[in-house]
Amino acid sequence: MDYLQIHKTPKIQGSISISGAKNSALPILAATLLSKNEVTISNLPDVADVKTLAKLLEHLGVNLEWLNPNTLKAQAQNIVHTKAIYDIVRKMRASILVLGPLLARFRHCEVSLPGGCAIGARPVDLHIKAMEKMGAGIQIKGGYITAEAKGGLKGADILFDKITVTGSENVIMAAALAQGTTHIINAAKEPEVVQLCEILVQSGIKIEGIGTNELSIEGSGGELLDFNPIEVIPDRIEAGTYLCAAAITNSSITLERVQNTHLGAITDKLEEIGFSFNKHDTSLTILPAEKLKPFEIITTEYPGFPTDMQAQFMALATQCEGTSVIEERLFENRFMHVSELQRLGADISLKGNHATVKGISPLVGADVMATDLRASSALIVAALVSEGVTNIHRIYHLDRGYEQIEKKLLGLGVNITRLKS
């Protein structure tokens, strides 16, 4: 197994280009199942999760032609079957995104129940209830969601009890081919959801309320869609992770190919800590702080502070002067990185869904283990200020969502090497 070895790097500098957003690429790939034409998708991040969903699409019969590691052409005319098998779905929970488009297009599908998730329960019951409201009959048997809509899906009023990003995306894709109008109340407002809606609008679907928590989608009545070429939006979480790397070393770096409007919650919190920014159309430079002030975070849905940045900011909190408090409201197991940060010397105490971090903690390199995707990046952030050498194991989590992370960090001056154990 690969692991990363990182030597303490007191300062970083330079510029890096931010990759496409994994969490936008996945629903876009699933949406190609709705297309009648060949779809070109560019700025795809070269990460394991994208490759997993691409493999699932190929298994279903989608013809994929990779023009380069970040661009592909997808032709979904000749689907051979509608069963998303466990062997692929178990590798990534976002595979559930094929449920809506398969059911809307073919009126029948079988999708394996996703496997467990390290950061907590992500129940698919919201997806299932929404499809039932749209006229599908659904059974769970043999570890599969078996869905059937003999007369085709019908527009319906969908009220989500809880905001769900993939649930919203599944319903949006299903509604695009349904008969009649679908209203979604309490829809997710993430930029990745907005991009999916905008792509469908460009293909001829009428959607009202884009970017709000209430969407109205007029379906095509089963007619497949004609997609324009698609460019995946920049990854706001990748951008935030590199900002935390700069912040913990109190360094100045420039991020290229960013969308600053998507980074508001992250840059606002960094400004509260003491940093300032130079912002341009598609670039962002973080400037050093006089001192790092403690902070409080409550994770919540967009446009609030993202749960996917909680771990990286916890690492940063270890170097802030005073006590910081982090409340995790979205996932019950998203503090598993705490014990690994403590191995490096972090002073963190947990009570329920609250973490209290006392700074400034002198960190010392050690062997640590990544428990999930964002925990992995938090350990990298902490390793930058840890005396000596830190070895981060189980980095296959990192490869799920960060494109060429060690190459980008090397470009900033980080002493980092990928090794085999």
Residues that are catalytic: 117
DSSP tag of 387: B
CA distance 214 to 249: 41
Distances (CA, A) of 50 to 6, 29, 41, 45, 69: 27, 8, 12, 7, 11
Q: Beta-carbon neighbour count of residue 58 at 10 Å?
A: 13
Q: Strand, coil or helix: what is 216? A: strand
CA distance 2 to 421: 6
Helices (H), 61-188: 86-89, 99-106, 125-133, 165-177
CA distance 295 to 272: 7
DSSP tag of 226: -
Strand-by-strand arrangement of the 144-148 sheet: 83-84, 108-112, 144-148, 137-141
Furthest C-alpha separation in the chain: 65
How far is C-alpha 145 from the geometric centre of its chain's CA atoms? 24
